[in-house]
Every structure is written in structure tokens, then in C-alpha cells.
Amino acid sequence: MKKHHVIGNPDTQNFGGYSGSEVVNQHFIVKIPAGIPLEKAGPIVCAGITVYDPLRYWGATKGVKMTIGIIGIGGLGTMGIKLSSLLGHRVVAISRGSDKEAMAKEKGADAFVNSKDPESMKSESGKIDLILNTISAAHQLGDYLPLLRNDGTIVQLGLVVENHSFSQMKLLGGRKKVAGSNIGGIAATEELLALCEKHQLFPDTQLVEASQIDWVWEQLHHNSDGVRFVIDTKKSLESEFVPKAE
């Protein structure tokens, strides 16, 4: 008789968030290398793999030099810049404005494009092989298609509920492609963790306590500088039981 393996709690659906422990099938577990601080590991297997998997799929890990564009210089975008630069590519950071130019170049970008400036957009027109679009706010991807060279691909990573509208003529002339990517599988995640440990390349993080969640939300709402806020669970639990002054 064939055995059926029970994964997790058979009676109650559990999602693992904020839990002290979780039982899952070993095939869905990745080992965190000793050289990666735990507060960096969480963002690596979230934002990190989200940008690494499309880089891997579209050939950026094969040793062939490319020009890679990163649209949106936030949590995903800064990690996309770091990884693309580490892999030896020419990296073009693309943002709606110029206020993040210095930060983008500090993270490893070779060039910067202000998408609201026609002359700035023209400087990289037809030069980019692969674009990772991390924008999660309403926008039109058609505005960025002219940046792709022939056979170039733009990969949608940011979650936007509004529809995009663009002329197919922007695709036909150069065999340009629009694609999408979500996160990444176990093999790609393990590969990324090993890469990050070897080169000590990590997301920018800030440890916070659970009581600061409202403050964190305000920071994310008003300022996207690429920092990933990580809850210090142990410290949060300790603080919860500290007697409050009367």
C-alpha cells in the first residue's frame, strides 16, 4: 500500500508567519549558510530570489556580458543592481526622477536614467538587453520598451493591478519581448544563498521590534530607499513581557 506523507498540520491550515516553529516537507527547506546573518537571510529568499531568478532564467548567470536595466530603486531594485553588478554586467538604474541617482550608483549601477527626462531616456535608447521592472505603482511599461535593444526582454516583477497599454509596433521592429516572473524555486534559492555567502553580498536591512510595525509602514509608504525592515522576534517577545511603568 502506498504511503501518504502528511505535510504540516493535517487539521489546521498554517502559514508560518511569526511562528516559533513550522513542520514542512524537507524538499521545501533551504539551509542558511553559516556566513549569512539571519537578518539578511529573510530578504535574500524574498527580494533577492525575486530578482535573481529572472537574471538566471534570461542568461545573466552564464558569463555572457549584458547591459541590464533595473526600473525602480527600492527593495527589489537595489538588490537587482547589486546582483547584476556582481555578475559582471553593465547596470542601468532607471527611476522617475534623479533623487536616487547617487544611491543607485553606490549600489553598483554604471549609469542612471531619469524616465521623466526625454534626453536621459534617449541616452540608453536601444542599448539594454534585459530590464527588470520592479515598480509596484501604476505606470505604463510601454514607456520603457524603447530602451530595449533588438531581442531584448522586459520582465515584470512589481505587482500592479492596473492594465498596461502599449502599441505592438514597439515590439515588432526589434523582436522585443514582455515577460513576467514571480519568485524562484529551491535550486535557484540555494544557488543564490551560496553566491551571497561567497561574496558577502546582502540586502540593506534594519532590525526592528514588532511594536514598531506602524512606524515601519509609514517609512515604507513615504520613503522607498531599499532598506528591508526585519522583525527581531526574540527581542520583540522579551519586550512584550517587560512590566510597564505605572
Q: Of the candidates 43, 38, 98, which has an alpha carbon nearest to the alpha carbon of residue 76?
A: 43
Q: Do 57 and 107 fall within a single domain?
A: yes
- Is 235 contained in some domain? yes
Residues 39 and 113 in one domain: yes
Is 14 inside any structural domain?
no
When divided into structural domains, the chain yields a total of 2
Shared domain for 193 and 131, answered yes or no, is yes
Sign (positive or negative) of CA dihedral 181, 187, 193, 195? negative
Can you give the pLDDT at residue 42?
A: 93
What is the pTM for the complete model shown? 0.87
What is the reported pLDDT for 76? 94
Range of the domain at 210: 205-240
Residue 79 lies in a domain: yes
C-alpha cell at 159: 505587482
Give me the pLDDT at residue 87, please: 98
Mean pLDDT by groups of 10 residues along the chain of 246 residues: 50 65 80 95 95 97 96 94 98 95 96 97 97 93 95 94 87 93 94 98 94 90 83 84 53
Which residues does 180 contact at the CB level (< 8 Å), separation at least 6? Answer: 155, 156, 157
> Do 193 and 211 reside in the same domain of the chain?
no
**Residues 6+ away with beta carbon under 8 Å from 151:** 129, 174, 175, 176, 177
C-alpha cell at 61: 548567470
Assigned domain for 93 exists: yes
In a domain, 183, yes or no: yes
**35 found inside a domain:** yes
Identify whether residues 44 and 123 lie together within a single domain: yes
Q: Which three cell numbers stand for residue 223?
A: 520613503
Q: What is the DSSP letter of 141?
A: G
In a domain, 40, yes or no: yes
pLDDT computed for residue 15 by the predictor: 64
What residues contact 232, with CB distance under 8 A and at least 6 apart? 39, 207, 208, 209
How large is the angle between the packed helices 49-57 and 75-86, nearest 10 degrees?
40
Query: Do 194 and 227 belong to one domain?
Result: no
pLDDT at 16: 62
Residue 46 to residue 25: CA distance in whole angstroms: 20
Considering only the C-alpha atoms of the chain, give the largest distance between any 2 of them, rounded to a whole number of Å.
72
The 8-class DSSP code of residue 212 comes to G
CATH number at residue 163: 3.40.50.720
Amino acid sitting at position 194: A
Instruction: Please check whether residues 216 and 145 belong to one and the same domain.
Output: no
Phi and psi at 105, nearest 5°, equal -70, -30
In a domain, 231, yes or no: yes
